[in-house]
Amino acid sequence: MGITFACLLMALGLGTALRQLRTRRRLAEERFLPSDERKYLSGQVRRRVVVGVVLVAIGAMIAGYYLSGMDARMDEIMVKDKRAHGEPDAEDKQFAKMVGFYWIGVLGLVFIIAVCAVLDFWATRTYWMAQYRLIKQDHETKLRRDLAVYRQAKDNDRMHGRGRSNADDETDETPPVE
């Protein structure tokens, strides 16, 4: 089960890293990409390549744990301690301590993946909020332009005697644009 999980992690990490490297090549070939989008996508590729490499490392460490016999040795130490009902010897304690640090290293790598995921989320949020502000600003500019054209046409109609009477103009209220 552990070996299967390790192989799955390594395959997932390798696939992720290779896919991101292909994306990096496509970015290099793309000529007409805005600089802010290129910067965002390049950072995204870097973060995701790191995640892929770390996944491969985690898978290799898990596979190494089982293939090197560490798991079997820990099982032997537990069985020996249960039979002896006493204090484990110094060598067993040292080995158990080393295995503990080994798994702390694996958890440290998992933490690196979590940090990369948070950074990726934050970068995506920042980029798309900037894009949203640009779209909103463009929309407001178009609305203001349309309102100015409408008011100009209305003023032209009044000057040439076309349009409504003065009584109608008193009730005409145009809503403010913000």
**How far is it, in rounded angstroms, from Cα 65 to Cα 100?**
11
Cβ neighbours of residue 177 closer than 8 Å, sequence gap 6 or more: 140, 143, 144, 147
Residue with tokens 């060598």: 91
Compute the radius of gyration of the chain from its Cα atoms.
Answer: 33
Q: Report the pLDDT value the prediction gives residue 171, as an integer from 0 to 100.
A: 52
Residue 111: per-residue pLDDT:
97
Q: What is the mean pLDDT of each run of 10 residues along the chain (178 residues)?
A: 93 95 92 90 94 96 94 86 74 92 96 96 95 94 93 86 57 61
* pLDDT in the model for residue 166: 53
Contact in structure between 19 and 58 (CB atoms under 8 Å): no
Q: How far apart are CA 161 and CA 51, in angstroms?
A: 71
Which pLDDT belongs to residue 170? Answer: 53
Instruction: Please indicate, yes or no, whether the overall pTM of this predicted structure exceeds 0.85.
Output: no
Q: At what angle do helices 2-29 and 35-67 cross, to 10 degrees?
A: 160
